[in-house]
């Protein structure tokens, strides 16, 4: 008790002020956030174009660069690496700086590493469109983009960890556990997968197993982890209450790390049977930590949800992200078996986690962070654009999730019985569901543009304030 | 928790567990998998792809065909059966034709008993020789023995509460048209028992296998895909969603089993299949009106090349090298070769399902 008081006192004396912390964040965090959401817009448009080809195959026909088989991986990788991971790095830096009460180490270096990350993603997306995709889900970037990508991450990650080490607030809050775990997890899985697939080239189906292991860890631990870090920071903050049950959060955290990495291989059929069986069990078990963590958040917000929903733009995003996290985990646990194997149902998990769980949480957080780092106010300059961003992204994620899920069920029926005609039931039969998916990607692109416009307004106001000498 | 290193170490430990189980263990189990010899030939499966097909694999990867096509045939069950190929002969085999008739009508009496044991759902009739043979001294003891065997059988039936139908078909009719399926879609033990029962009487019988499941019924492959099918691939493009049909065995697909069924017009089936695939690549909607398979018309040329390696899909549409390579690759896709861990009906060696590679069940 006394030592804690003492240490927090000594910490206070050396700790930088909030203004100093935020000033150090300004350049790298705003840059990563802005380019991240830019990639959200680009990726959503690419995915939209690809989804049209699923029911209108003559659309953009005749050019190999934009054929479905290249456009779709380009979109997914742009969304994952360009948007999700990039925004996650920005948010992590901000969380480390704020929660650790420390100014960022080497802001200029972080900014430059961020630029290189963007260049690498651009090269990777163009590489896929040019036909150099590796063919492994979520790892499609060719080696000449994957290596610079890894190098830029190494810099961002290293400086983030150095900043964390220099923190003046010694206690690590829940959010930072997730950030720390994800920051360490990501380079390991990325280097393992790239090393085994593009370097050493393990033989046979082991390649598919490694790629599935990577993709699952990226979704289940890294991106879900970043989303949880955001939730655990902003939910208590927006409802203005301390975290209700830290012990439960701790249990949930460790269980998620222990179980989460085992799922994701149930899409493989041509492998020894124990592999999909183990993964299927993990997909169910992972419900335990997810529910534990969500209960913890629920207890924190209970009773103030309706009120905060109305008053706070960030909270709305977070609430939906939390519900989607429960939804996507339940969905895989309940329907993740043989019936949905090889259907859109299973593959849509990537979209829901990247765009829904992580994407909405990140957009919510940015609606809080961006105004603070630009205008110094609490809210984005335009309420209308903030509303638009929220409703459009909500609609988008729901449309994508529902469209793919329904299409997946129909495909499951076709896979399950040789009686049903493939062309009628699995091709023309799912066109209407896929049109919903197109609408979803369109709405998401709109949400990204609304946020970017708001961002630009904030930047302009900030510049006007600084340069115009109004402040 | 205030110690970053502890959290970091814990995280890395958790990751190490999943890495050891899902990366290391499969590599140890499958890393040394090698092509298997094809029975009765000097070939192995999977064969190393000829140069053109290997280039086609690159085209397949580059165009992202695996975004819409899996190459993994699933199988729900592996069942067994017994087939009688020849009644054979032993000491109790009798000829019911008259010596002068020049024909033989052999009846393997032990086989009849064995068949009755194998098929408790069928009746069994006594064997009555034509009147002209009634006095045959060779036949009499055999038939007497058979009557005794029938009584024993009846006794055994009663003991195990088997009631055979009094009318309808009998086991005596089974052996008339060979080969005859004695046991269909049963477990491996039951099937092996029946085969042994039959062969012990001198008859020729074999174990047959049934690969079951919607994929197989659809004609997408004769058996499930297993890890060994991919030992020569790199990258291994298994695909994860079936927007189009599975392509694991497109090189051996029967015309009526395509999404848009068709028929061979000549006996040169390989050539016809290749041509069909070329037309499909050029414009899938020429073959299936509602197809959403993207056209790869950019793999074709309208200028006549100096050498024409194959037929053009349409008048004055000439496939480029990559179109040939891709078709060559598709033609090598076959999941019809019997493997120890995934037998196909063509071979009838007793094949216990190998534990390590049993079909992936939900």
Same domain, B235 and B161: no
Decide if A204 touches B, using CB distance below 8 A: yes
pLDDT at A206 over 60: yes
Token pair 């999941």 in the structure block, residue: B335
Q: Cα dist. A167→A12, A153, A216, B164 in Å?
A: 11, 21, 31, 86
* pLDDT value for B288: 93
Nearest neighbour of A272 by CB, restricted to B7, B293, B357: B357
- Judge whether A267 and A341 are in contact, CB under 8 Å: yes
ipTM: 0.93
Same domain, B170 and B94: yes
HEC letters along B234-276: CCCCCCCCCCCCCCCCHHHCCHHHCCCCCCCCCCCHHHHHHHH
Which one of A206, A336, A337, A343 would you mutate to disrupt binding with B, by most B Cβ within 10 Å of its Cβ? A206
- B241 to chain A: which residues are within 8 Å by CB? 342-344, 346-347, 411
Decide if A188 touches B, using CB distance below 8 A: yes
Decide if A45 touches B, using CB distance below 8 A: no
Structure confidence at residue A468 as a pLDDT band (50, 70, 90):
low
CA-CA distance, B116 to B83, in Å (whole number)?
15
CA-CA distance, B290 to A55, in Å (whole number)?
9
Stretch (H or E) spanning B301: strand B300-301
Same domain, B86 and B189: yes
Same domain, B71 and B97: no
Q: How many CB atoms lie within 10 A of CB B270?
A: 9
> Span A29-44, mean pLDDT?
97
Same domain, B159 and B248: no
**Per-residue pLDDT tens listing for chain B (362 residues):** 668 889 999 999 999 999 999 999 999 999 889 898 887 788 888 888 888 999 999 999 999 999 999 999 999 989 999 999 988 877 778 888 777 777 777 888 889 999 999 998 888 888 888 787 777 777 888 888 899 999 999 999 999 888 888 888 888 888 778 888 999 999 999 999 999 999 998 889 999 999 999 999 999 999 999 999 999 998 999 999 999 999 999 999 999 999 999 999 999 999 999 999 999 999 999 999 999 999 999 999 887 776 666 677 777 788 999 999 999 999 999 888 888 888 888 644 433 333 333 344 33
Angstroms from A24 CA to nearest CA on chain B: 22
Q: Which residue has the higher pLDDT, A165 or B352?
A: A165
Q: Answer whether B362 sits within 8 Å of A347, measured CB to CB.
A: no
* pLDDT value for B346: 62
- B34 to chain A: which residues are within 8 Å by CB? none
Nearest CA-CA partner of A256 in A182, A328, A332, A337: A182
Residue B166 lies in a domain: yes
Q: H helices of A15-83, where?
A: 18-53, 68-77
Give residues with Cβ within 8 angstroms of A323, minimum separation 6: none
Q: How many CB atoms lie within 10 A of CB A459?
A: 17
Nearest neighbour of B295 by CB, restricted to A61, A203, A261: A61
CB pairs under 8 A between A and B: 254
CA-CA distance, B246 to B253, in Å (whole number)?
11
B301 phi, psi to nearest 5 deg:
-130, 150
pLDDT at A471 over 90: no
Q: Which residue has the higher pLDDT, B61 or A11?
A: B61
- Judge whether A183 and A96 are in contact, CB under 8 Å: no
CA-CA distance, A285 to A263, in Å (whole number)?
9
- B244 to chain A: which residues are within 8 Å by CB? 427
Copy the structure tokens of residue A17.
């002020």
Nearest CA-CA partner of B60 in B255, B319, B292, B331: B331
Q: Which of residues 92-121 of A touch B (CB under 8 A)?
A: none
Copy the structure tokens of residue A200.
């050493």
Quick check: bond before B331 cis, omega within 30? no
**What sign does the CA torsion over A238, A243, A244, A249 have?**
positive
Domain A15-171 falls in which CATH fold? Answer: 1.20.120
Choosing from B212, B230, B248, the residue where a domain stops is B212
Residue B1 lies in a domain: no
* pLDDT value for B39: 77
- B242 to chain A: which residues are within 8 Å by CB? 342-343, 411, 415, 426
pLDDT at A400 over 90: yes
CA-CA distance, A186 to B232, in Å (whole number)?
30
Residue B276 lies in a domain: yes
Which sequence spans correspond to the domains of chain A?
15-171
Which one of B11, B75, B235, B256 would you mutate to disrupt binding with A, by most A Cβ within 10 Å of its Cβ? B11
* pLDDT value for A8: 46
Q: Answer whether B290 sits within 8 Å of A208, measured CB to CB.
A: no
Quick check: bond before B11 cis, omega within 30? no
CA-CA distance, B126 to B88, in Å (whole number)?
20
Q: Which of residues 354-383 of A touch B (CB under 8 A)?
A: none
* pLDDT value for B308: 63
Q: Answer whether B68 sits within 8 Å of A68, measured CB to CB.
A: yes
- A218 to chain B: which residues are within 8 Å by CB? none
Same domain, B246 and B276: yes
Copy the structure tokens of residue A398.
């729901």
Q: What is the pLDDT of residues A300-356, one digit of tens each?
A: 999 899 999 998 999 999 999 999 999 999 999 999 888 999 999 988 999 999 999
Number of domain units in chain B: 2
Structure confidence at residue A378 as a pLDDT band (50, 70, 90):
confident
Same domain, B51 and B125: no
Structure confidence at residue A2 as a pLDDT band (50, 70, 90):
very low
> Span A173-188, mean pLDDT?
95
CA-CA distance, A429 to A411, in Å (whole number)?
9
- B224 to chain A: which residues are within 8 Å by CB? 269-270
Give residues with Cβ within 8 angstroms of A391, minimum separation 6: none
- B226 to chain A: which residues are within 8 Å by CB? 270
- B356 to chain A: which residues are within 8 Å by CB? 272
- Could you tell me the residue range of the domain that residue B301 belongs to? 44-76+215-331
Q: Answer whether A280 sits within 8 Å of B362, measured CB to CB.
A: yes
pLDDT at A3 over 60: no
Quick check: bond before B235 cis, omega within 30? yes
Same domain, B51 and B159: no
DSSP SS3 for B94: strand
Q: Answer whether B233 sits within 8 Å of A181, measured CB to CB.
A: no
Nearest neighbour of A270 by CB, restricted to B4, B225, B292: B225
Decide if A10 touches B, using CB distance below 8 A: no
> Within its chain, how far is the Cα of B37 from the centroid?
17
Half-sphere exposure of B197 (CA within 13 A, CB side): 20
Q: What is the pLDDT of residues A258-285, one digit of tens each?
A: 999 999 898 899 999 999 999 999 999 9
- A416 to chain B: which residues are within 8 Å by CB? 214
Same domain, B284 and B297: yes
Same domain, B267 and B154: no
Copy the structure tokens of residue B113.
């008993």
Model-level pTM? 0.91
Give the CATH number, domain containing residue B297: 1.10.760.10
> Span A80-86, mean pLDDT?
98
Same domain, B70 and B89: no
Same domain, B240 and B114: no
- Judge whether B108 and B201 are in contact, CB under 8 Å: yes
pLDDT at A90 over 90: yes
Residue B191 lies in a domain: yes
Burial group, residue B286, by CB count within 10 angstroms (0-12, 13-18, 19+): middle
Q: What is the pLDDT of residues A142-153, one digit of tens each?
A: 999 999 999 999
Angstroms from A307 CA to nearest CA on chain B: 32
Choosing from B212, B240, B265, the residue where a domain stops is B212
- B260 to chain A: which residues are within 8 Å by CB? 423
Burial group, residue B17, by CB count within 10 angstroms (0-12, 13-18, 19+): middle
Q: Which of residues 331-350 of A touch B (CB under 8 A)?
A: 337-339, 341-344, 346-347
DSSP SS3 for B316: coil
Q: What is the pLDDT of residues A111-131, one digit of tens each?
A: 999 999 999 999 999 999 999
Residue B169 lies in a domain: yes
Choosing from B186, B212, B238, the residue where a domain stops is B212
pLDDT at A6 over 80: no
């Amino acid at each position: 008790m006394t030592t804690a008081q003492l240490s927090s006192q000594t910490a206070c004396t050396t700790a930088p002020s909030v203004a100093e912390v935020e000033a150090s964040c300004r350049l790298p965090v705003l840059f990563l956030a802005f380019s991240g959401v830019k990639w959200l817009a680009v990726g959503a448009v690419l995915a939209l174009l690809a989804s049209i080809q699923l029911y209108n195959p003559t659309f953009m026909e005749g050019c190999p660069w934009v054929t479905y088989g290249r456009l779709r991986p380009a979109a997914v990788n742009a969304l994952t690496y360009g948007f999700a991971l990039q925004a996650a790095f920005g948010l992590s830096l901000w969380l480390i700086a704020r929660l650790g009460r420390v100014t960022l180490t080497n802001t200029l270096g972080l900014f430059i590493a961020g630029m290189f990350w963007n260049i690498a993603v651009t090269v990777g997306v163009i590489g896929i469109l040019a036909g150099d995709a590796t063919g492994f889900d979520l790892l499609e970037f060719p080696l000449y983009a994957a290596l610079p990508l890894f190098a830029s991450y190494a810099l961002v990650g290293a400086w983030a960890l150095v900043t964390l080490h220099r923190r003046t607030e010694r206690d690590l809050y829940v959010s930072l556990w997730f950030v720390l775990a994800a920051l360490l997890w990501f380079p390991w899985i990325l280097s393992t997968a790239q090393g085994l697939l593009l370097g050493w080239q393990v033989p046979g189906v082991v390649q598919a197993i490694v790629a599935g292991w990577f993709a699952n860890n990226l979704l289940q631990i890294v991106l879900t982890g970043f989303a949880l870090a955001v939730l655990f920071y902003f939910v208590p903050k927006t409802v203005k209450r301390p975290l209700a049950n830290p012990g439960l959060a701790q249990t949930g955290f460790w269980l998620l790390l222990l179980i989460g990495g085992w799922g994701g291989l149930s899409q493989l059929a041509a492998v020894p049977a124990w592999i999909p069986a183990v993964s299927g069990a993990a997909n169910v078990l992972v419900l335990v930590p997810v529910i534990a963590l969500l209960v913890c958040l629920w207890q924190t917000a209970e009773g103030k949800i309706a009120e905060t929903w109305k008053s706070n733009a960030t909270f709305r995003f977070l609430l939906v992200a939390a519900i989607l996290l429960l939804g996507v985990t339940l969905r895989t646990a309940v329907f993740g078996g043989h019936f949905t194997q090889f259907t859109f149902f299973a593959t849509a998990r990537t979209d829901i986690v990247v765009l829904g769980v992580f994407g909405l949480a990140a957009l919510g957080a940015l609606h809080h962070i961006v105004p603070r780092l630009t205008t110094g106010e609490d809210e984005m300059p335009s309420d209308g654009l903030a509303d638009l961003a929220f409703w459009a992204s909500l609609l988008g994620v729901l449309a994508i999730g529902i469209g793919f899920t329904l299409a997946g069920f129909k495909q499951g029926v076709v896979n399950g019985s040789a009686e049903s005609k493939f062309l009628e039931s699995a091709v023309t039969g799912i066109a209407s569901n896929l049109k919903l998916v197109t609408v979803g990607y369109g709405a998401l692109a709109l949400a990204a543009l609304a946020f970017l416009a708001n961002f630009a307004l904030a930047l302009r106001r900030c510049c006007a304030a600084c340069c115009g000498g109004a402040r | 928790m205030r110690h970053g290193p502890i959290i970091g170490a814990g995280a890395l430990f958790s990751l190490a567990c999943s890495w050891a189980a899902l990366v290391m263990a499969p590599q140890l189990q499958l890393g040394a998998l090698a092509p298997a010899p094809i029975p009765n030939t000097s070939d192995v499966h999977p064969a190393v792809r000829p140069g053109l097909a290997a280039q086609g694999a690159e085209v397949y990867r580059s165009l992202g065909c695996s975004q819409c096509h899996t190459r993994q045939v699933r199988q729900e069950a592996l069942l067994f059966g017994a087939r009688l190929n020849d009644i054979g002969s032993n000491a109790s085999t009798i000829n019911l034709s008259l010596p002068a008739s020049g024909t033989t009508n052999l009846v393997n009496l032990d086989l009849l008993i064995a068949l009755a044991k194998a098929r408790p759902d069928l009746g069994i009739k006594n064997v009555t020789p034509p009147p002209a043979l009634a006095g045959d001294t060779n036949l009499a003891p055999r038939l007497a023995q058979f009557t005794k065997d029938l009584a024993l059988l009846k006794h055994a039936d009663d003991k195990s509460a088997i009631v055979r139908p009094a009318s309808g078909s009998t086991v005596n009719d089974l052996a008339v048209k060979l080969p005859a399926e004695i046991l269909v879609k049963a477990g491996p033990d039951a099937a092996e028992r029946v085969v042994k029962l039959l062969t012990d009487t001198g008859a020729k019988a074999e174990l047959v296998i049934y690969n079951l499941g919607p994929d197989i019924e659809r004609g997408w492959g004769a058996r499930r895909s297993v890890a060994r099918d991919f030992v020569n691939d790199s990258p291994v493009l298994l695909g994860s969603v079936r927007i189009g049909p599975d392509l694991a065995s497109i090189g051996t697909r029967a015309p009526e089993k395509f999404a848009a069924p068709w028929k061979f017009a000549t006996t040169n089936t390989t050539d016809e299949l290749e041509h069909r695939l070329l037309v499909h690549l050029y414009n899938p909607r020429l073959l299936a009106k509602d197809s959403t398979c993207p056209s790869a018309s950019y793999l074709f040329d309208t200028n006549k090349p100096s050498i024409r390696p194959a037929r053009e899909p349409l008048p004055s549409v000439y496939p480029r090298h990559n179109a040939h390579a891709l078709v060559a690759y598709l033609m090598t896709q076959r999941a019809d070769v019997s493997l120890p861990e995934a037998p196909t009906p063509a071979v009838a060696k007793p094949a216990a399902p190998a534990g390590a590679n049993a079909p992936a069940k939900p």
